[in-house]
Amino acid sequence: MLLTLIRHLPTEWNKKTWLQGRRDIDLAPVDGEFAAKIEQNKELLRKQQFDLVLASTLKRTHQTARLYGYQPETEGLLDELDFGPFEGLPKQRLIETYGHQWIDNPKALVLGESLMNLESRISHFLKKYKNHQNVLVFGHGSWIRGLVSYVDYGDINNMNKIIVENNQCITLEVEIGDEMEG
């Protein structure tokens, strides 16, 4: 499966480095830099035929998809990690609280949701859509980082060593083998 992932455009909370998680926040006004990057990404996307376009249940992913000219289907498995008590706070607060564990062993953490649950959602997503050839996903930072870590390393424990900027476009070729089926 060819999987193209676009992290949603920034919100005001992204600009302040506040964790959003499941908070349903609108996008910030799109400035010239992001508008130019949208056009750049659209050029790459035009070369592909997507058999499915998906976005999470949160409006910032749907707003981003519409700015790209897509009307995505909603998929709850794509929802951002629930950061629990850290939502609405600077990301640095989470890092100060969990330090090395956030970087080296996030899978052991439980915030508003366990990171093991995030990994389970990613695995379920891959199994659910494995028969599609070319999927476009408008998603969230932690979910996308988790997916990249899962595909590259077999679990999500490297997710916080990966950087995915707002409006970044990543394309992965994913083979769902027996190890991902289990």
Tens-place pLDDT, residues 66-121: 999 999 999 999 999 999 999 999 999 999 999 899 999 999 999 999 999 999 99
Of 24, 27, 19, the C-alpha closest to 90 is 19
139 found inside a domain? no
175 found inside a domain? no
Q: Rounded to the nearest 5°, which phi and psi values hold at 25?
A: -110, 140
Range of the domain at 160: 2-131+147-165
99 found inside a domain? yes
Q: Domain of 119: which CATH number?
A: 3.40.50.1240
177 found inside a domain? no
27 found inside a domain? yes
* Residue 6 · residue 167 · CB < 8 Å: yes
Split at pLDDT 50, 70, 90, the class of 182 is: very low
β-partners of residue 172 are 3
52 found inside a domain? yes
* Residue 65 · residue 138 · CB < 8 Å: yes
* pTM for this predicted structure: 0.94
Domain total for the chain? 1
Parallel, antiparallel, or unpaired: how do β-strands 134-139 and 52-55 relate?
parallel
22 found inside a domain? yes
Average pLDDT (156-176) is 95
Tens-place pLDDT, residues 113-154: 999 999 999 999 999 999 999 999 999 999 999 999 999 999
178 found inside a domain? no
Of 86, 82, 95, 70, the C-alpha closest to 21 is 82
